[in-house]
Structure 1
Amino acid sequence: MTIIPKILVTLSVISYLMACNNNRPAEKNNHQGNPTVTEDNGPQFRKDGDLWFIQKESNDTLRHIDIELAITDQERAKGLMYRKSMPEQQGMLFIFNEEQEQSFWMKNTYISLDILYINKDKEIVSIQKYATPLSEDGLPSYKPAMYVVEVVGGFCDKYHITYGDRVAFKAGKQLPESRIY
Structure 2
Amino acid sequence: MRVVAQGLAGIANASRVLALILTIFVASTVAGCASSGDEKLTLHTAKGDFAFRVEVVDTPKSRADGLMFRQELASDAGMLFDFKEERPVSFWMRNTFIPLDMIFVDAEGIVKTIHVNARPQDPTSIPSGVPVQFVLEIPGGRSVEIGLKAGDRMDHVRTSGGQGG
Structure number with the bigger relative contact order (C-alpha 8 A, sep ≥ 6) is 2
Q: Is the 8 A contact 1:62 1:161 kept in 2?
A: no
**Runs (5+) with no aligned partner, structure 2:** 1-32
RMSD over aligned Cα atoms: 2.0
1:54 matched to 2:54? The reply is: no
**Runs (5+) with no aligned partner, structure 1:** 1-43, 172-178
Task: State the Cα deviation string for residues 54-106 of structure 1 (Å, max 9, x = none).
Answer: 13xx6x84210101011111110000000011111100000012101111000
Equivalent residue for 2:121, pick from 134, 142, 159: 134
Paired letter, 2:143: C
Corresponding residue for residue 63 of structure 1? 50
Q: Give 1 or 2: higher helix fraction.
A: 2
Paired letter, 1:104: F
Q: CA deviation at 1:141?
A: 0.7
1:110 matched to 2:110? The reply is: no
Q: Is the 8 A contact 1:66 1:90 kept in 2?
A: yes
1:95 matched to 2:85? The reply is: no
1:124 matched to 2:111? The reply is: yes
Q: Give 1 or 2: higher strand fraction.
A: 1
Q: Secondary structure of 1:134's match?
A: coil
Q: TM-score, normalised by structure 2?
A: 0.71
Q: Give the % identical residues.
A: 31
Q: TM-score, normalised by structure 1?
A: 0.65
Q: CA deviation at 1:120?
A: 1.2
Q: Is the 8 A contact 1:104 1:139 kept in 2?
A: yes
Corresponding residue for residue 24 of structure 1? none
Which segments of structure 1 move beyond 6 Å, counting only runs of 4 or more? none
Corresponding residue for residue 26 of structure 2? none
Q: Secondary structure of 1:75's match?
A: helix
Paired letter, 2:100: L
